């Protein structure tokens, strides 16, 4: 099966959807460090990050939702695994933060970062797979949807689990 996969779509997806945006982000940061106008670019990029991510998610989910619906029974079997991962990442993230003696804000960031697996970075590669492996992209989209719901829960729950500690005098 592996020999039947054409590497060209993977290389194209990697370059166009991952490497080029990564290089542009690095150049934008360098520009911000060197020029005062670069700071304006960074502020603009930071402000547009959430709307752009929401638009990306809408396009991705919209393009794959029919497939998710058609394979829902197969995909539902994965949901408990994704939920378990979200649950397990809370104590794992807290433990990692304790090892490195992180403050409360950084501890919360570690927990959130550990729980999200950047599935939108992997999705272009999954979409480049040949038709017999099309389910992989639907698995990634399902993972993203479960993570989104999990992050909404995290926003409400994590501050109660990882509380600000009063400073000791």
Q: What is the three-state SS of 15-36? A: HHHHHHHHHHHHHHHHHHHHCH
Assess if residue 165 is contained within a domain. no
Assess if residue 59 is contained within a domain. yes
Assess if residue 105 is contained within a domain. yes
If one counts the domains in the chain, the total is: 1
Assess if residue 37 is contained within a domain. yes
What range does the domain containing 58 cover? 2-159
Assess if residue 145 is contained within a domain. yes
Assess if residue 167 is contained within a domain. no
Half-sphere exposure for 33 (CA within 13 Å, toward CB): 6
Assess if residue 169 is contained within a domain. no
Assess if residue 131 is contained within a domain. yes
- Check if the beta carbon of residue 123 is closer than 8 Å to that of residue 141: yes
Nearest CA-CA partner of 110 in 100, 120, 122, 97: 97
pLDDT in tens, the chain (169 residues): 555 678 888 788 889 888 998 898 888 778 777 766 666 777 787 888 888 888 888 888 888 989 999 999 999 999 999 999 999 999 999 999 999 999 999 999 999 999 987 777 788 888 888 888 889 999 999 999 999 999 999 999 999 999 865 444 3
């Amino acid at each position: 099966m592996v020999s039947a996969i054409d590497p060209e779509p993977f290389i194209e997806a990697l370059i166009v959807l991952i490497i080029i945006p990564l290089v542009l982000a690095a150049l934008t940061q360098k520009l911000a460090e060197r020029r005062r106008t670069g700071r304006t670019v960074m502020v603009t990029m930071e402000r547009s990050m959430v709307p752009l991510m929401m638009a990306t998610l809408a396009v991705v989910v919209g393009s794959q939702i029919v497939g998710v619906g058609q394979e829902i029974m197969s995909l539902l079997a994965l949901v408990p695994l994704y939920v378990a991962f979200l649950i397990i990442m809370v104590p794992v993230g807290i433990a990692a933060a304790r090892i490195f003696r992180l403050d409360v804000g950084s501890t919360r960031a570690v927990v959130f970062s550990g729980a999200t697996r950047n599935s939108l970075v992997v999705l272009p590669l999954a979409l480049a797979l040949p038709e017999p492996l099309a389910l992989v992209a639907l698995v990634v989209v399902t993972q993203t949807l479960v993570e989104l719901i999990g992050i909404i829960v995290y926003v409400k729950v994590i501050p109660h689990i990882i509380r600000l500690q009063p400073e000791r005098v």
